[in-house]
Amino acid sequence: MFDQELLKQVSEKAQLWLREGYDAQTQAQVRAMLENEDKTELVESFYKDLEFGTGGLRGIMGAGSNRMNIYTVGAATQGLANYMKEAFKDLEQIKVVVGHDVRNNSRLFAETVANIFSANGFKVYLFEGPRPTPEVSYAIRLLGCQSGVNITASHNPKEYNGYKAYWDDGAQVVSPHDVNIIKNVNAIADVSEIKFEGNPSLIEILGEEIDAKYIEQIHTLSLSPDVDKKHHDLKIVYTPIHGVGRDIIPRSIMRWGFDNIIHVPEQDVMSGDFPTVEQPNPETRSAMLMAIEKAKETQADIALASDPDADRISVVFKNNKGEYDLVNGNQIQLIFHYYLITRNAELGKLDRDNDYIVKTIVTSETIARIAKAQGIKMYDCYTGFKWIASVMRELEGTSARYLGGGEESYGFLPEDFVRDKDSVSSIPLMCEIAAWAKERGQSMNDMLIEMYMTYGYSKERGISVVRPGKSGADEIAAMMVNFRENPQKEIAGSPVVLIKDFQLLEQRDVRTGQVTPIDMPARSNVLQYYTEDNTKVSIRPSGTEPKIKFYIEVHDKLDKAENYDAKNEWADKKIDQICHDLGI
């Protein structure tokens, strides 16, 4: 039941969508919501405006200010255009790139964006069809553009779409630009202020020529070309999960010298309906079942997937029991960082004074141990690849060399000529790592265990508590207040010794009561507990989905490879106890 004040506010807001300037179909949908006795859809569609989060603009498609449609996309684009005119006022010609994924309405939204930009006098490079998110970032840098937009909702269910805004470095927009864009968007009082009528003479179509350059530059990342050639017949299962990676990722893999790519034909169908999965999220075993079955059938060395916009990667290989198992996002990060550091050292290319890696604050601390042991600088940043890119931008032009960066949510970037997570480069690199391990007489699982024995064992689990809609947003906010005002005193029997609050940018030593500042570029609604036995628990609301996320990480020693399974069982029980203690 909604209170009368809220119903009054959303009804008045909805009435504005019945004015001239909105198309007949939209008006009919809004009118039906107003007339419906059940006001749930009306409230959910109008109780707020879509806002930029860690991944930009994202929401369910439909009519309303809290929905993805040509008007919310149009307002975001006009606001972005207005701000760019201020930010780049000294440029004779502002240039932008526009791309999109395979989702329903993605081409419509992309063309809407291109038209609005061109109507504002911008030179627009519009991709001819669906392309990977990281290729949009690549094109911005390659073509010397000031901004770009990619229409995508990544791995969200089919009802969703989204809008990622990029700046001139090819990275997603960060402060102060994100705040200024929002101000400009909010300043648009009427739909008539949006310049929908495009200028075709300012729109240039991009295609194969960018694909070819992108693939060729990605191949320069290879550190073991001889190994790739020797193991060219490595059995590689790959699925795009109905997304944009279908054509370009096999091309990228083959450019590295691997020619035994095994497809999952049913998932090679590019479709915004994602017909073979409930949700096209490569983090979930359900989305990877067909790839796992194909790996079993062919006895593949490795199975890999990209999500629908081809920025994230999923990895499957055999565990100790000979079963194909989904590798978690933290383990993917460990493998990439371990290989890049170790292989560069083997080749005599590791510059310990200048080389660096980046991870997010919720990603495994074992990566920090690897970096410390190898004498490599590691930077911690907030969740969202825009923050990894921000570190890269700050160090660009110095002697520092970026080796790689990633986050536990299955995204990794091994190159500096793109500024967003990139499966088009990460997937062939993971193939190379599998070949390199094979050359050393190891399976991928053997290599992972070796890392844990060398640098310390850790296990991580992410839990998302979904609370959709207005009531859900209120509940999530209340949960964060409770965790702050009533902090855990112990977790799984171990005393909490340190609490970090990134909203206050303060950390408190529980034993001494000493409070010290946290050095971060901005405030963020993230809370972390650290215990005496090195357990780390991070809590944050999602910036793009109706969720509150918990990241749990436990640590111990692993002395013998044969104890790995027992150690995993111990860790699972401990994490279960932590979940119980947190009430999730």
Last residue of a domain, one of 455, 476, 505: 455
Residue among 231, 294, 222, 286 nearest 260 (CA)? 231
Residue among 81, 80, 73, 78 nearest 26 (CA)? 73
Residue 14 lies in a domain: no
Q: Which strand ranges, in their side-by-side order, compose the sheet holding 147-151?
A: 57-60, 160-166, 147-151, 95-100, 123-127, 203-206
d(CA 474, CA 468): 10
d(CA 434, CA 536): 30
Residues 370 and 261 both lie in one domain:
yes
Provide the token pair at 128. Answer: 């001819």
Beta strands in 487-570 (DSSP E): 490-491, 494-501, 506-509, 515-517, 527-531, 536-541, 547-556
**Residues of 126-154 as b/e, b for ≥16 C-beta within 10 angstroms?**
bbebbbbbbbbbbbbbbbebbbbbbbbbb
Q: What angle do CA 383, 359, 515 make, to 5 degrees?
A: 75
Neighbours of 498 (CB within 10 A): 15
- Peptide bond before residue 275 is cis, with ω within 30 degrees of 0: no
Residue 24 lies in a domain: no
d(CA 326, CA 323): 10
Q: What is the pTM of this model?
A: 0.95
Residue 493 lies in a domain: yes
CATH of the domain at 534: 3.30.310
Residues 121 and 164 both lie in one domain:
yes
Residue 497 lies in a domain: yes
d(CA 527, CA 550): 10
pLDDT of residue 228: 98
Q: Are the C-beta atoms of 248 and 132 separated by less than 8 Å?
A: yes
Where do runs of H (alpha helix) occur along 347-384? 366-374
Residues 535 and 422 both lie in one domain:
no
What are the residue numbers of the active site?
154
d(CA 101, CA 149): 11
Residues 79 and 56 both lie in one domain:
yes
CA dihedral 125, 130, 133, 135 (to 10 degrees): -60
Q: Can you give the residue range of the structural domain that contains 405?
A: 213-223+232-455
Domain count, the chain: 3
Residues 477 and 443 both lie in one domain:
no
d(CA 103, CA 153): 8
CATH of the domain at 351: 3.40.120.10
pLDDT of residue 526: 97
d(CA 329, CA 409): 5
Last residue of a domain, one of 397, 427, 455: 455
Residue 35 lies in a domain: no
Residues 444 and 469 both lie in one domain:
no
Provide the token pair at 210. Answer: 């960018």
Residue 5 lies in a domain: no
**What DSSP string describes 379-436?**
EEE-SSHHHHHHHHHHHTTSS-EEEEEEETTTEEE--SS--S--HHHHHHHHHHHHHH
DSSP 328: P
Residues 467 and 447 both lie in one domain:
no
Provide the token pair at 307. Answer: 């999500």
Residues 89 and 202 both lie in one domain:
yes
Residue 396 lies in a domain: yes
Provide the token pair at 314. Answer: 């999923």
Residue 412 lies in a domain: yes
Q: Are the C-beta atoms of 415 and 218 separated by less than 8 Å?
A: yes
**Residues of 32-44 as b/e, b for ≥16 C-beta within 10 angstroms?**
ebeeeeebebbbb
Residues 462 and 449 both lie in one domain:
no
- Per DSSP bridges, beta strands 236-239 and 302-306 are parallel
pLDDT of residue 189: 84
Give Cα separations from 153 to 52, 67, 272, 317, 543 (angstroms): 13, 13, 11, 28, 13
Residues 496 and 444 both lie in one domain:
no
Residues 164 and 297 both lie in one domain:
no
Residues 115 and 157 both lie in one domain:
yes
DSSP 27: H
Last residue of a domain, one of 455, 488, 517: 455
What backbone phi and psi angles, to 5 degrees, belong to 556?
Answer: -165, -175
- pLDDT, one tens digit for every residue, the chain (584 residues): 678 899 999 999 999 999 999 999 999 999 999 999 999 999 999 998 887 655 568 999 999 999 999 999 999 999 999 999 999 999 999 999 999 999 999 999 999 999 999 999 999 999 999 999 999 999 999 999 999 999 999 999 999 999 999 999 999 998 888 888 888 988 988 999 999 999 999 999 999 999 999 999 999 999 999 999 999 999 999 999 999 999 999 999 999 999 999 999 999 999 999 999 999 999 999 999 999 999 999 999 999 999 999 999 999 999 999 999 999 999 999 999 999 999 999 999 999 999 999 999 999 999 999 999 999 999 999 998 999 999 999 999 999 999 999 999 999 999 999 999 999 999 999 999 999 999 999 999 999 999 999 999 999 999 999 988 878 888 999 999 999 999 999 999 999 999 999 999 999 999 999 999 999 999 999 999 999 999 999 999 987 678 999 999 999 999 999 999 999 999 999 999 999 999 99
- Is residue 440 exposed (0-12), middle (13-18) or buried (19+ Cβ within 10 Å)? exposed
Residue among 260, 459, 437 nearest 336 (CA)? 437
